[in-house]
Structure 1
Amino acid sequence: MGRQCITEVGLWLPSLRPGVEEWQQMLSSLGQLYVQGVKVDWLALDREYSREKVALPTYPFQRQRYWVESSEGSDKTTTKHPSATASSPITELLDRGDYQQLTAMLSEKESLTAVEVVQQLIHLHQKAVAQTALRDCLYHIEWQIKPLDVASEKPSQDGQWLIIGGEVTVTQKLAEQLEQKQQSCRFVKELPQDYSELLQLVQQETELPLVGIVYLNCEEVTSHEEVLSQTETTCQSLLELLQALLQDESSNPTKVWVVTAGAVALGEHPISVAQTPLWGMGKVVSLEHPELWGGLIDLEPSKDVESQMEYLITELLNPDADDQIVYRREERYVPRLVPSSPSTSKTFKAEPTGSYLITGGLGSLGLKVANWLVQQGARHLILLSRRGLTEETEAAVAALQEAGNKVSVMSADVAEITDMERVWKQIQAEEKPLKGIIHAAGVGRLDTLEELTPEVWEAVLRPKVKGGWNLHQLSSSENLDFFVCFSSIASVWGSAGQAHYAAGNQFLDGLMHYRSSLGLPGLAINWGPWAGGGMVTAEAEEWLAQTGLETLSPELAISALEYLMSADQVQVTVSQNDWSHFKAMYALKRPRPLLDLITVAAERVEAKTEQAPNLQQRLEVVAETQRSELLRQILQEEVALVLDLPITSRPNPEVGFFDMGMDSLMAVELQKRMSKLLGVNLSSTLTFDLPNIEKLEKYIIDQHLVGFFKPETDEDQQEESFLETNLLAEIEQSSDQELEGSIDQILESIID
């Protein structure tokens, strides 16, 4: 109508059209405006919608499939706020319109502004939801008795063994026992200065392969200097050994076993805290280089090591899937992660007359904890930081002080004993008794074993090991209500690229158990990654979600802290996981029994109008002579899809999956696709046990398609070998001109 009345206007665009959806018409008109040169804010248009970039064909003869895949069933994991869809007593009261109950739950302050009312209701709702969500986030390690199933007395492999460290009597006894089992053995009394030279020397002395290295560290130390010295020396030496093995060009894999005595808090004997970092380090080695890893063995600390030699020999020569073993009272224990529900006997409240120390106090986590302590009644806070105040942190500290709290910011390095002695004098001068310590200082880095240097190792361990030990020593005479260490999941199940971080946090875990054995307060919280600050960037958060590890919202984490401060456990893990995905990723390179007791909910099967035929049905419709070719084609297509290759690009069956560019996430996806294709649950280690299409095909035929293929006989193999030999001989006897002609014929047949 407008176009008919005003004919001079160049372009009329409708917003509505009969028979066309409103949104579709609006987009069409918007597109025409853009073509006419009008600037469109496309980012603003797409802000509320999920989009996916699709590559379009550039040439008509590529013959590639360009259907846009449906987003339904996508398994991308996103971190959700715990209160996004959950209900709480607040929402229930709002639904009922019960303003009297809501009013009763608010602050006792006489008059509240509308904004303050809303803020309090939001806080109460988030706290209630977080407490409910905690049930799925708390775990602890349970040590269970599991005898070693020794199928045969014969060792899994004969060869040379190298024993490093330990007391001379222990190493001699172990060497004698190994030699009685027909194993060649050599031991080194002192920790070597050059492991590469030692490995070369061992390999030159005998033709037997070096099959195992036993790294002994069973000495117990308790003095301040000895604990720090042994921690540094033994870890650095083990790192040098592992790096030398990684640089060694020997084709035979050598397994490293770390043996301790009392490094695990199990039984009545106090933990040997100086040995604990080796366990954190070992958990990461197992993830990064399973081909080099034997395991961790912790012997009974109250008995001499020589009397436990039988257990040690049995573990070394007959290993099973468990690579963390503890012996106590002649029983063999292995760790299993289990859900935790600690009992609480009190409600935590801070003392207004006491003072509270937070290391890393100006960091993101430290400031969140400071705010929470104020909410719990604390009025005197000491925030410790190496860097001191910045513009950003100054505003946060000022906000704490506005409420009438005294906040002291002290610049000090928690790992320097002289700095901490100065801090302690200042605390004592304030005449406000120190009632609690929260040790949240830390340095987060990602460095593989190959990349680690002594300087980087020391930088990451200092705040955890030296810092934690300094705080313990200085506070031992204080009447503390709590001593909380912010540890990490890295020391529970390991974290690739964080051997140093796992070692440092394992020390804190052990330190809290050590304090508990002395009757002192101690709590280690093995945190999963926190959202909204801390050490996790937005990119890292997205990657973690893809591995099945979700970030903890600050509300959920603080709720966990409040709950655990009133609980009766020394060590608790707080982590949000998509266990179905995380377990598959975790056990990608070798079995991981640690998570065997974590149940995984069955995956939801989406309803489809047409069920795609499974692999057996697809093979049944073709002749037996064509099945092998069809199976290989199907496997090539599955691998191509996982690698995001063009559908017409068929991967070479003999090339390794990881040589093609497959990463750990892709490996899990391939395992899931193959499980769905076969209708069975395949092992998480599928791509490592069967590293290319050719081996995967043979495994499927032998194990899951029995009867579909004619068994290969010795005659078939001989005929194949005969044909291959004749073909090679024919090629060797042909001239270059004849070979070029044959290649041309092959290429022409392919093109035709």
Structure 2
Amino acid sequence: ELASAEYWVRHVREAVRFADGVGVLAGEGVTRFLEIGPDSTLTALAQNSLPDDTHDPGDAVFASMLRKDRSEVETVLACIAAGYTAGLFVDWTAVIGEVSTAGVDLPTYAFQRERFWPQTKRSEVVRDAELWGSAEPEEARELAHTLNIGEDVVQEVLAGLSARHRDRAVRAEVDGWRYRVDWQEAALPPGDGPTGQWLVLHSAGRSAHLDTVTAALPEHLLLSLSDDPDRAELARAVAALPGPQIAGVVVLCETVVQALIATQAMGDAKVAGPTWLVTRGAVSVGDLDDGPLRAEQAAVWGLGRVAALEHPDRWGGLVDLPEAPGADAAALLASVFSCSSEDQLALREGRIHARRLRQASAQRPTGPGWKPEGRVLITGGTGALGAHVARWLVRRGATDLVLTGRQGPAAAGAGELVAELRDSGAQRVSVEACDVSDRAAVADLLSRHRVSAVFHVAGVPDHMPFDDIDAAHVGRVVGAKAWGAVYLDELTCGWDLSAFVV
């Protein structure tokens, strides 16, 4: 009826019955009233026209698109904001455009902070431990008299119980910090799949699953990555690509360096679409068939999570494919690329799984636990963390330690550490200069020290912003930790090790 000319003739000539109209709408459950007109006259009338028996008039929202003698832009934005605060969906990109990533000056006043920490069981255990604290002399004397034993024995027993319960309190707090990675099947919101032209970067000549990725994209351009890609050259090649603006990027990478350079170059080339890193064998989804796991692909996931934190504006996500994708893998991948709510996903057995962090319960050993025997190797043993591990090993009963570091005995504090370990019970402590990123150096070390356990603590704590990292930096950091672990594993293969801890 509203679309007929006759209605509007009657509307001008006869009673409008505005209050009746608002009442009928309220009776039907309408709670959002928007005035489309040159002012807010009807907005005020509508608020006064709600029937007295309205269930909860406070739930109703009234907003005007325009107001006389006010800025049209500000009024429209205020109207949209009012709807947004009332729970209505607003496509803010359509309202204000792409979000700027430029820095915003912070206010100069002092912030009012309220800190939130994970809640643990410590408080409950601490309250329990207070009951076992050292008793006052009168209480100890009374308890000794009741039990007919010496007062000094009572104090010793209470002190031991108090220490035990304090240890339980600390353990309970630490247990509250334990988390594990879990995977749950994800039902992604329905969508039309990726749109526009996508760029697919792939390793030259070695890209597995390239056909699966391209089948998931309606339009795509292919660009190969060398084993050692040049960042500036890649950015220039992407910027010179013909056709419309790139809607998104998929990187099929074999190495961490390829993933790093490709992601950086997309930022240099000002690619507006999201960047997705596609791996295979990077993660284990639990009971499902994951196929062979690949350490280098897992490292790509570590790099990707850092990129997501530092550059969310150009990040898409990580998705791990199975060794042999099924017929529906391309369709599943298409839904992944069009999803903005999940960024760590794995495809297994025709289903999509999302990565989750769950609180994990502590599983403590029932027996006495591991005890060091024979000679124990600690790489990076002269550093702060290595020294901490060495002290712990001596407390566990280790008597023969080999500590390594790049500087060997010349490292700062090495002499004092050796003396401390010997005073604590170690009979033999050797300090060796060894770069664990050098396979020959590790082989020479192990030829002189037949060890029964390995604690690989060495590493290079060299932190840089994501966009400042280059291949040389990756080689330096990965060499000490990752390749050091590989060399130690290879060169002790067949040895009867009681522990290999990284």
The alignment status of 1:262 with 2:281, answered yes or no, reads yes
Q: Partner residue of 2:395?
A: 375
- How far apart are residue 195 of structure 1 and its match? 4.8
**Residues 463-490 of structure 1 deviation map (CA, whole Å, 9 limit, x = unaligned):** 11111111221233222332222xxxxx
The alignment status of 1:439 with 2:439, answered yes or no, reads no
Structure 2: segments with no counterpart, 5+ residues: 1-108, 144-151
Give the TM-score of the pair, scaled to structure 1. Answer: 0.45
Q: Partner residue of 1:279?
A: 301
- How far apart are residue 326 of structure 1 and its match? 0.8
Alignment of 1:403-422 (within 5 A): 403-405=424-426, 406-422=428-444
Q: Partner residue of 2:417?
A: 396
**Residue 471 of structure 2, aligned match among 454, 457, 460:** 454
- How far apart are residue 350 of structure 1 and its match? 4.9
Aligned-partner SS, 1:92: coil
Q: Partner residue of 1:161?
A: 199
Alpha-carbon separation, structure 2, partners of 1:387 and 1:290: 40
Alpha-carbon separation, structure 2, partners of 1:359 and 1:91: 44
Aligned-partner SS, 2:489: helix
**Residues 497-553 of structure 1 deviation map (CA, whole Å, 9 limit, x = unaligned):** xxxxxxxxxxxxxxxxxxxxxxxxxxxxxxxxxxxxxxxxxxxxxxxxxxxxxxxxx
Q: Partner residue of 2:359?
A: 339
- How far apart are residue 392 of structure 1 and its match? 2.4
Alpha-carbon separation, structure 1, partners of 2:234 and 2:320: 26
The alignment status of 1:213 with 2:249, answered yes or no, reads yes
Contact conserved, 1:437 with 1:484, CA < 8 A, in 2? yes
The alignment status of 1:313 with 2:345, answered yes or no, reads no
Give 1 or 2: higher helix fraction: 1
Alignment of 1:522-601 (within 5 A): none
Structure 1: segments with no counterpart, 5+ residues: 1-67, 107-119, 218-229, 486-752
Number of residue pairs matched? 371
The alignment status of 1:291 with 2:313, answered yes or no, reads yes
Q: Which amino acid aligns with 2:213?
A: L
Contact conserved, 1:148 with 1:320, CA < 8 A, in 2? no
Contact conserved, 1:380 with 1:407, CA < 8 A, in 2? yes
Alpha-carbon separation, structure 2, partners of 1:358 and 1:168: 39
Alpha-carbon separation, structure 2, partners of 1:367 and 1:207: 58
Q: Partner residue of 1:632?
A: none
Contact conserved, 2:126 with 2:166, CA < 8 A, in 1? no
Q: Partner residue of 1:325?
A: 345
CA spacing shift, 1:402–1:245, aligned 2, 3 Å: same
Q: Which amino acid aligns with 1:370?
A: A
**Residue 485 of structure 2, aligned match among 468, 471, 485:** 468
Aligned-partner SS, 2:408: coil
**Residues 692-736 of structure 1 deviation map (CA, whole Å, 9 limit, x = unaligned):** xxxxxxxxxxxxxxxxxxxxxxxxxxxxxxxxxxxxxxxxxxxxx
CA spacing shift, 1:413–1:126, aligned 2, 3 Å: farther
- How far apart are residue 245 of structure 1 and its match? 2.3
Aligned-partner SS, 2:247: strand
Q: Partner residue of 2:15?
A: none
- How far apart are residue 315 of structure 1 and its match? 1.5
CA spacing shift, 1:467–1:352, aligned 2, 3 Å: closer
The alignment status of 1:246 with 2:260, answered yes or no, reads no
Instruction: Let me know the Cα RMSD of the aligned residues.
Output: 3.4
- How far apart are residue 352 of structure 1 and its match? 5.9
Alpha-carbon separation, structure 2, partners of 1:282 and 1:342: 29
Contact conserved, 1:203 with 1:210, CA < 8 A, in 2? no
- How far apart are residue 328 of structure 1 and its match? 1.7
Q: Partner residue of 1:185?
A: 221
CA spacing shift, 1:394–1:105, aligned 2, 3 Å: farther
CA spacing shift, 1:87–1:361, aligned 2, 3 Å: farther
Alignment of 1:18-167 (within 5 A): 74-75=113-114, 86=126, 89=129, 92-95=132-135, 97=140, 99-100=152-153, 103=156, 127-150=167-190, 152-155=191-194, 157-165=195-203, 167=206
Contact conserved, 2:281 with 2:292, CA < 8 A, in 1? yes
**Taking CA–CA contacts closer than 8 Å with sequence separation of 6 or more, which of the two structures ends up with the larger relative contact order?**
1
Q: Which amino acid aligns with 1:148?
A: L
Q: Which amino acid aligns with 2:267?
A: L
Aligned-residue sequence identity (percent) comes to 25
Contact conserved, 1:88 with 1:128, CA < 8 A, in 2? no
Alpha-carbon separation, structure 1, partners of 2:311 and 2:179: 26
Q: Which amino acid aligns with 2:441?
A: D
Alpha-carbon separation, structure 1, partners of 2:208 and 2:296: 22
**Residues 599-627 of structure 1 deviation map (CA, whole Å, 9 limit, x = unaligned):** xxxxxxxxxxxxxxxxxxxxxxxxxxxxx
Alpha-carbon separation, structure 2, partners of 1:90 and 1:423: 51
- How far apart are residue 264 of structure 1 and its match? 0.4
